[in-house]
Amino acid sequence: MPVRRLEAEAIRDSLLAISGRLDKKMFGPSVLPYLTPFMNGRGKPDRSGPLDGDGRRTIYLNVRRNFLSPMLLSFDYPIPATTIGRRSVSNVPAQALTMLNNPFVLQQAQLLAKRTLAEANLAPEQRINNLYIAAFARPPQPDELESAKQFLEEQQKQYSDPIKPWNDLCHVLINVKEFIFVN
């Protein structure tokens, strides 16, 4: 089977799942789209939805043709103004930039770090192992474990807040291609 990238909806739902924020409730009303400061125009909702869509799966996000999520669009989310028989799949620099800079992605990385640190009495190695299992469904290789430990040590030298190095590690793991590509 050739390597394939997850669809935009699956990437967003995966971020919610590993951060512990995914609401698995089925059915119910849709969630208004999150409006960035750059979203203006005709048909603009009177208010913005939450950044994480209340943790609801992507299928429950309200679709407004003029107010689509920039994160989803960068991963080839279909444009609702037209019909298409097959969704395009691209691999472009904007996707990597989205995973690095999108406020939703940053928020989910922070939540994942808090969730990781909330587990009491675990050594850093165990926490790193849990992160790899959550993100990639496998434990880290010995060299990956060592690299992650070294990364945390270097980051701890830069921050006084003990959570920040873990935020950065979670953000790094989310940005590994293995997170959004199925092999």
pLDDT > 90? residue 143: yes
pLDDT > 80? residue 154: yes
Domain borders along the chain are 103-182
pLDDT value of position 128: 94
Confidence of residue 118 (pLDDT cuts 50, 70, 90): very high
Confidence of residue 144 (pLDDT cuts 50, 70, 90): very high
Mean pLDDT of 83-98: 84
Side chain identity, residue 102: N
Higher pLDDT, 152 or 44: 152
Mean pLDDT of 37-59: 81
pLDDT > 90? residue 90: no
